Amino acid sequence: MSQARVLLFDSGMGGLTVARSVRHELPFAHLVYSADNAAFPYGAWEEQALVQRILFVMGKLIERVEPDIVVIACNTASTIALAQLREKFKVPFVGTVPAIKPAAAQSKSHIIGVLATPGTVRREYTHTLIHDFASHCHVTLHGAPKLAEIAERKLKGVPVDLDELKAEVAPVFVEEGGKRTDVVVLGCTHYPLLADELAKVEPWVVRYIDPAPAIARRVADVLKDVVPKEPTKPVPPHNSVLLTSTREAAADALPAYAKMSFHLPEFLDLKV
């Protein structure tokens, strides 16, 4: 019997944080990472155009990989397109949404921050999560316009400008009535890549919630009910990375993917 093929999808490198947790949870799975880097960053896209882009790219990826499960390792894509993906394709999907429920449960001050992309902040889904699970908390929802790109640059070897980072995250640190923010949700899979730098710029110590371990456990649970299928044609090998750009456009990112074990690149050139 073949090992389960897991397709991980993000707009860029942020999903590598989820891939790392999936690899730890499922050490024998056949992992293929995919990034729609030709369309990065997703947070700035208009919603309907982005939904159509995600459906188009996912169709090409599923045809190429024939996965047993797809992990949408991107908060923006999950909050706007997960329902449409499940409707269009027969493969099981696991999504990524802001970890607002555990943040509200863990906060002692009941003041929590949510760092996300501007796109995720605008989504009705995000506001519904806050209403359903954190109505008893003061929630600061902040769309950080540059944070995902700062994380991408770090993975490509560019030093993080700590002053720029501090300005990006400052709005989620709130003091009110003698209490202050004690939990911050990392509402984009890119953000855990900046964990060391966040610890340097935070005005006081908070708990950051990285959803990746919980996503990996969910993938393992779903796969318990999935019988891996033999592919009908040659598919990308384990540890491949599929990119929607040309090789030239992705050249500076390839060492970062290789460092996270995805050292076999393939270029789909799916122009925006």
> Where in the sequence numbering do the catalytic residues fall?
74, 188
**Distance between CA atoms of residues 11 and 42, nearest Å:** 6
Q: 190 labelled as ligand-binding? A: yes
What residues does 120 pair with on adjacent strands? none
Q: 257 labelled as ligand-binding? A: no
Report which of 157, 219, 195, 184 is spatially closest to residue 9, judged by C-alpha positions. 219
**Distance between CA atoms of residues 79 and 120, nearest Å:** 7
CB atoms near residue 151 (< 10 Å) = 25
**Distance between CA atoms of residues 96 and 117, nearest Å:** 13
Q: 263 labelled as ligand-binding? A: no
Q: 78 labelled as ligand-binding? A: no
Q: 76 labelled as ligand-binding? A: yes
Give ∠ CA 95-96-99 in degrees, rounded to 5: 140
Q: 75 labelled as ligand-binding? A: yes
Q: 79 labelled as ligand-binding? A: no
Strands ordered across the beta sheet of 30-35: 93-94, 69-72, 5-10, 30-35, 240-243, 264-267
b/e 92-130 (16+ beta carbons within 10 angstroms → b):
bbbbbbbbbbebbeebebebbbbbbbebbbbbebbeebb
Q: 181 labelled as ligand-binding? A: no
Query: Residues annotated as binding site for substrate?
Result: 10-11, 42-43, 75-76, 189-190
Query: Residues annotated as binding site?
Result: 10-11, 42-43, 75-76, 189-190
